[in-house]
A and B are shown apart, each in its own frame.
Chain A
Amino acid sequence: MTQKSMKNLAWVVIIAIMAVSIFFVFEMVKNASMETDLDEYMPKEHPAFVYSDQAEKWFNIKDGILIAIENVDGIYNQATLQKIKDITEGLQDMPEFEAADIVSLYTADNIIGNEEGLDVKSFYKNVPQTAEKLKELQLNVASNEMVQGRLVSDNNQVALVVAALNDSVFSMEFYDKILAFADSFNGPEEIYVAGVPIVEGTMAYLGPKDMKTMVPIVILVIVIILYAVLRSVRNTLATLFVVLFSTIWAFGLMSLTGIPIYAVTIMIPVMLIAIGVADGIHLYNHLDLFMQENEGVNKIEAIKDMLKNMWKPVVMTSVTTAVGFISLLTSEVLPIKYFGLFTAFGVMAAMVFSLVFIPAAIMVFGIKKKKIIHKDDNNHASFAYSFAEKTLKHKVLVISVTAVLIFVSIFGIGKVWINSSFLENFERNSDIVRTDAFVNKHFGGTSMINVILESENDGVMLQHDVQKMMVQMQTSVENVETVGSSFSIADYIKRMNKVMNADEEAFNVIPDENDLIAQYLLLYEMSGDPENLWKVIDYDYKKANITFQLKSDNSKELNKAIEAIEVFRKPFEEKGISINYAGSGYKALVFTGLILTGQIKSLILSIIIIILLLSLMFKKLSIGLIGSIPVVLTAIISFGLMGLLNIPLSTTTALISSIAIGIGIDYAVHFIDRYRINALETGDKLATIRETMHHSGRAIAFNAVVVIVGFLVLLFSVFPPNRSLGALVSMNMFISFLATVTIMYLVLYKSNVFFNKKNKRTDI
């Protein structure tokens, strides 16, 4: 083939890749959709979710948006009461809400007792006009513990409007609408908006928004560092295009197949940036060294040599990395499956582009004639040589430091915990955290756990001994520090019993007769709004829903409450009643647990697969084991550090272990393959490690520097999860790099592989 026809072919390759990429960009613009409903992330068939979804339907359990109205002079004045009414009615009129799902002082039923009997009425319909009437309203609220402390704070300065919402209704537009609506009531009263949908919404909004501003900066920094390393604009651009195209193809394929963008999806470009630059760096590194050693060769020869020497490690690293991500298919969480699949696709795409696009670019745009500064290169080489020698000399130190790190990390791993908290993703002084703290200070709590009691037989939940046990459980669980309040059918019965007995506090208990409980319920149905009852008990009185409100959504706190609840599992079981959990807080807890176990499963699986693959590629089991050293070390140390520093795993940070595999294995493969080639060429151990360190070690260092510096930029993010992402990726890269060029190299050196005569034939 002539140089001209090769150049034409290169153009065809470049244009074809560009054209497909542009097509994918259009696909993305046309079809991309963001998934904001967190329920869509959860495995529908998992028993805990199946049960919770069912229970949510039985008892109309929904997450609530909480609008708090604060008046430091007290809420019992005409203007504030009018505001409570206006906000309530305004929400009721919104098509996203069902009118019955809005609860406030304005809608609440006041069950009051008097000499003659029972009265169920609203607290107010029209705002009271006189001082006496306002005082009367205040007294009515104060004597009703189903309202005081729940809808009106105990200091009478804050009123709460709770608007329960179907998850599926939530959208960014709706989020903006609610915030604007609440804001329109601001002044002189302070208006606060809190609740799970708002926290989730803010997160869904802030995460991607922050990424949008941070990713260009990350790319810019990577470009600068890449340029510093590659010392060539065209090489930098070509490497960057490989990353860019692979990301576009992965996203394009996603939108083409109609898969929505999930929150974890934003990790795909993160992974591809970290992994994709490696191939380019190694290819250009080889090319540079080749050009230095063979002055005056033409570019076709250079390209040929580059591909001949480098296609194997590039393919091997890409395949092992892709397999690592494919192992995420074992996860029970759908978005993580997709994440694994499409990242793997992106990695393979990056491989193809590296092997096709980069040579084509070199063909078309040529190789930059670098001034060959021998002195400088000798410095490089001598540094690499001396690093290799010194590491060898201090092997005892390297091995013992590694051993200590492993030991300490294993200790730390025992402390790793996963936090399903959404709130702790935000800055302590952010609006959302302060609002949440404000509502928690004045009311029961912004997080909920629903305990579902279920029996085989009709009417069981009305039995007095069952109800007394509910009260016992509620009292006992409320002793847990973060549990603010609880609510169940027993609270209705206690209130009715009190009211029917001249409002005497002594009767604020569950009565001893089953029939009386049934009759109270009937009475309530006749005089109140029975809709409210179906939130705590079912039609056949077989099932009951006890709601616990917590002042924190931290997993540790949720687990403490669950622990206190579990004490009652046995006593209830003895009565033939089962305990189950429901609600978004519990689902988030289970969900994060699933992610963690899923991650650990796929981590172990991918390490096994990688060992097998490496063993197969190098036709030696020992190489498989040696090659897995950086991966295993990175995983152990990064989990260990998180445990030691008390950094909880979250849904995004848990995925970072995948990057440990993806990158750790790249370093190892490049290093081992170069070592193998050098070993076969020189047959001399010292020369082999010197050359390997000079060639692969240098490229690995370049690669590590580019990605580490790039991701350290994320430390300046305003969104804490993105900050920990940056820190963890950088840390993982650094550990992988260090482990490859120190401990793995020592083990490789000591193992004598590739120097055994029997292995002379090892030419894969």
Chain B
Amino acid sequence: MKTIQMLFAAIIFFSLAGFTTVNAQMDGQKIMEAVYNNPSGDDVQGELKMILRNKQGDERVRQLKQFIKVDAQTEKKIMFFLSPADVKGTSFMSWSYVDGRDDDQWIYLPALKRTKRISSDSKADYFMGSDFTYDDLGDRHPSEDHHLLLREETVDKHACYVVESKPKEADYMYSKTITWVMKDNFLGLKRDFYDEKGNLLKTLTITKFEKINGFWTILETEMHNVQKSHTTKMIFSDVKINQGVPESKFTERSMTLGQ
């Protein structure tokens, strides 16, 4: 009897100890850093299908070809519209800088045959009428928020950390976000965004991800704005990583070529 009790006590002790060590190691800050540092390749290319759905259930589909190239200072991105037909050939390029300078953005309208710089006030603007802001699409540095590991739970058979992140700056567009991070690959599986008043604004879910060329890559994701009942689904296909996209792809001249 005594041995069994001892054994139980030991098991409980060790398992508790084990958990505390894990928690000590993986606090919110560390988890989010691991997510941020998840290797993603130096360049990515592929097709993007954006499906926008409004309150009435009307849908709009846009297909784009996109190229991304990242180096230590800059993330360059160029997108070419494939459909709908009347905007085919329209291209959009953005350069964003690690040092916090404003993004540079250009648009080429084939009907106007001219490239124009566009500038937008803030990263809180929505990207192409979708439910993603520019900031949602980029990587926010973990040092900009306070992180707190709330709990661990299993979502859709994935063991996850649940981390709450509150911005350090005063008037950020979200009062907080809660992220479900998969334990095995440090990819975010789901994120809830809360508006300035503290109400749930949007939910982002990753519905498909794969390892491509050795990198964990998100292939399907959906952003649902619960306040506006508006949804954006992004489907990536034909994704190629580290195939060596040339620097010349990210020029105003390239924009006019249509792809």
Contact = CB atoms under 8 A, between A and B. Distances in A.
A309 interface: no
A495 to B, nearest CB: 15
Given A522-B90, A539-B54, A539-B60, A117 B117 contact: yes
A515 B112 CA distance: 9
B87 A526 contact: no
B118 A515 contact: no
Interface stretch (A119-127, A219-227, A482-490, A660-668): A119-127
B54 A519 contact: no
A584 B231 CA distance: 30
B109 A520 contact: yes
A93 B125 CA distance: 20
Given A117-B116, A513-B111, A519-B109, A58 B86 contact: no
Interface stretch (B1-9, B126-134, B143-151, B157-165): B126-134
Contacts of A527: 118, 120, 125
Interface in B105-139: 106-107, 109-112, 114-121, 125-129
A116 B112 contact: no
Interface residues of A, number: 32
B86 A118 contact: no
B126 A459 contact: no
Interface string B75-97: 00000010010110010100000
Interface string A500-533: 1000000000010111101110110111011000
A518 B119 CA distance: 20
B56 interface: yes
Given A515-B110, A519-B109, A539 B87 contact: no
Contact of A118 (B58, B116, B127): B116
A116 B128 CA distance: 21
Contacts of B114: 500
A522 B129 CA distance: 9
A539 B58 contact: yes
B121 A120 contact: yes
A521 B55 CA distance: 20
Given A118-B116, A118-B118, A462-B86, A516 B109 contact: yes
A534 B54 CA distance: 10
Contact of A519 (B56, B59, B86, B126): B86
A534 to B, nearest CB: 7
Contacts, number: 89
Given A57-B56, A523-B109, A534-B54, A515 B117 contact: no
Contacts of B119: 117-121
A116 B197 CA distance: 38
A538 interface: yes
A538 B57 CA distance: 12
B118 A119 contact: yes
Nearest to A513: B111
Contacts of A515: 86-87, 110-111
A529 B228 CA distance: 14
A503 to B, nearest CB: 13
A540 interface: yes
Contact of A514 (B86, B110, B197): B86
Nearest to A519: B109
A678 to B, nearest CB: 72
B111 A121 contact: no
A709 B126 CA distance: 67
Contact of A540 (B58, B92, B109): B58
B128 A525 contact: yes
A516 B109 CA distance: 8
A275 B242 CA distance: 91
Given A530-B126, A538-B58, A539-B54, A522 B120 contact: no
A121 B125 CA distance: 10
A122 B128 contact: no
B201 to A, nearest CB: 11
Nearest to B58: A539
A120 B58 CA distance: 27
A266 B81 CA distance: 62
A300 to B, nearest CB: 74
Contact of A500 (B59, B86, B116, B127): B116
B86 to A, nearest CB: 4
B223 to A, nearest CB: 14
Given A516-B109, A519-B90, A519-B110, A58 B56 contact: yes
B95 to A, nearest CB: 14
Interface string B201-241: 00000000000000000000000000000000000000000
Interface in A435-483: 459, 462
Contacts of B86: 459, 462, 514-515, 518-519
B128 A526 contact: yes
Nearest to B111: A516
Interface string B47-86: 0000010101011100000000000000000000100101
B105 to A, nearest CB: 8
Contacts of B110: 515, 519
B64 to A, nearest CB: 11
A433 B54 CA distance: 39
A730 B116 CA distance: 73
A121 B87 contact: no
A523 B120 contact: no
A122 B110 CA distance: 28
B81 to A, nearest CB: 8
A534 B90 CA distance: 22
Contacts of A530: 126, 129
B118 A523 contact: yes
Contacts of A57: 56
Most buried by B among A57, A525, A527: A527
B109 A526 contact: no
Nearest to A516: B111
Nearest to B60: A539
A95 B92 CA distance: 38
Contacts of B116: 116-118, 500, 523
A93 B114 CA distance: 42
B21 to A, nearest CB: 46
Interface string A529-557: 11000100011100000000000000000
A520 B107 CA distance: 11
Given A538-B58, A539-B60, A526 B111 contact: no
A513 B86 CA distance: 10
18 contacts: A118-B118, A120-B118, A459-B84, A459-B86, A500-B109, A511-B111, A515-B86, A519-B111, A523-B107, A525-B128, A526-B107, A526-B127, A526-B128, A527-B120, A530-B129, A534-B54, A538-B58, A539-B58
Across the A-B interface, the 8 shortest Cβ-Cβ residue pairs: A117-B116, A516-B111, A518-B86, A117-B117, A539-B58, A525-B129, A530-B129, A515-B111
Interface of A: 57-58, 93, 116-122, 459, 462, 500, 511, 513-516, 518-520, 522-523, 525-527, 529-530, 534, 538-540
Interface of B: 52, 54, 56, 58-60, 81, 84, 86-87, 90, 92, 106-107, 109-112, 114-121, 125-129, 197
